[in-house]
Amino acid sequence: MINENNYETYFMSYIDNELNAAERAAVEAFVLTEPKYASTMAVFEKAKLHAPNVEMEDRIFLYRFPEMQASLDPDFKKLLYKKEAPVRKVSFTPNLMRASFAIAALFILFIGLQLFKSDSPLLESNIVESNIVESPLKDKNTIASANILVPTENKILANAAMATKAITKNRTENKNNNQKENQNENQTILASTNYTSNSINTNIVSNSSSQASKENNSQNIVTAKLNEAQISSSSMETMASDEDKIIPVIPTSYKEIDTEQEDRTINIGMLEIDGATFRGITRRFSALLKRNKIEKEK
């Protein structure tokens, strides 16, 4: 029931239109009892808002028409899709990074070892050449040729290179002109008497190449070492044929390289690695791999 203590609540409910007919009548009767209630009710009435005339702008965009629902046929849509190969995403995890670094390091080491191995034949050839140089020459008649042949290591190498050139030259010539073989032989005999190193080399080459051409150019590939050996043997033959002089066979000796030597080093780029460093690197790699394995197990 409305009274002095709750009349404001009733007034507000009256303004909010939340009272039934009986309650509304009771409030209207209560207002008339005293002027202050009427003034209070008037203030509440004034505090009530009245809706202004506001229109929504761009209302046209809110409407929906059947035409707007038009859509493409799903099968036709599928035809428009671009077919792309599935993209493989590689997650570059720390473990993968470590593994890739380890593989790269091993690859570099492998290349280094290959380079290290490739150095050894050169050393052997040097030893052979030095033996040739140091071999004594007994016969005086061979001094001239020997002096020309092996005064220095460089000359030998130059002669060997010339010999290989001559081999290739004669190969082509022999292929085309098989009939001129005898002439070449004669030339070689004549030329061998000149005791010049170059002529000797060419004679030897021509002889060997003529023999090879007789065998239908089979096994024509001759190494530089063989050429040098033939240089000595064929020169002996030619000399013997002309002047019956003996040229000693130069013995070839091979020296073993001690791969277990402690102070041997390999160079990878600017980095020089000796045995101790290499062992340290391998130890670290093995420790890293072990640690990765433990982490994976965890």
Partner 1 sequence: MTDLEFNICVDDYSDGVYRFILKISKNKEDAKDIVQTAFEKLWVNREKVETLKAKSYLFTVAYHLMIDQLRKESKIIMTDSFDENANAITQGSSELKQLLLEAINNLNPTQKSLILLKDYEGYSYQEIGEIMQLSESQVKVYLHRARLILKNKLTHLEKMSA
Q: What share of the chain is helix, strand, coil (3-state, %, to 5)?
A: 65, 5, 30
C-beta of residue 237 within 8 angstroms of C-beta of residue 202: no
Is 35 near partner 1 (CB under 8 A)?
no
Q: Which of 4, 50, 216, 251 contacts partner 1 by CB under 8 A?
A: 50
Contact window for partner 1 (CB under 8 A) among 36-44, 110-118, 231-239, 257-265:
36-44
Is 46 near partner 1 (CB under 8 A)?
yes
With vertex at residue 123, the alpha carbon angle to CA 122 and CA 127, rounded to the nearest 5 degrees, is 115
C-beta of residue 217 within 8 angstroms of C-beta of residue 171: yes
Least distance to partner 1, CB of residue 14, Å: 11
- Closest to partner 1 by CB, 50 vs 82, is 50
Is 254 near partner 1 (CB under 8 A)?
no
> CA 128, 129, 130, 134: dihedral to nearest 10 degrees?
100
| Whole-number Å distance between alpha carbons of 262 and 275 | 6
Q: Which of 52, 121, 136, 251 contacts partner 1 by CB under 8 A?
A: 52
Q: Number of residues in contact with partner 1, rule: CB under 8 A?
A: 30
Contact window for partner 1 (CB under 8 A) among 59-67, 100-108, 129-137, 221-229:
59-67
Contact window for partner 1 (CB under 8 A) among 38-46, 98-106, 112-120, 137-145:
38-46
- Closest to partner 1 by CB, 9 vs 120, is 9
With vertex at residue 53, the alpha carbon angle to CA 52 and CA 55, rounded to the nearest 5 degrees, is 130
Is 57 near partner 1 (CB under 8 A)?
yes
- Closest to partner 1 by CB, 62 vs 90, is 62
Is 47 near partner 1 (CB under 8 A)?
yes
Residue 245 has phi, psi (to 5 degrees) of: -110, 145
- Closest to partner 1 by CB, 55 vs 260, is 55
DSSP, residue by residue, 95-161: HHHHHHHHHHHHHHHHHHHHHHHHHHHHHHHHHHHHHHHHS----SHHHHHHHHH-SSHHHHHHHHH
Residue 107 has phi, psi (to 5 degrees) of: -65, -45
In this structure, the chain runs to a length of 298
- Closest to partner 1 by CB, 59 vs 89, is 59
Least distance to partner 1, CB of residue 61, Å: 7
| Residues binding partner 1 (CB under 8 A) | 8-9, 12-13, 15-18, 40, 43-44, 46-52, 54-59, 61-66
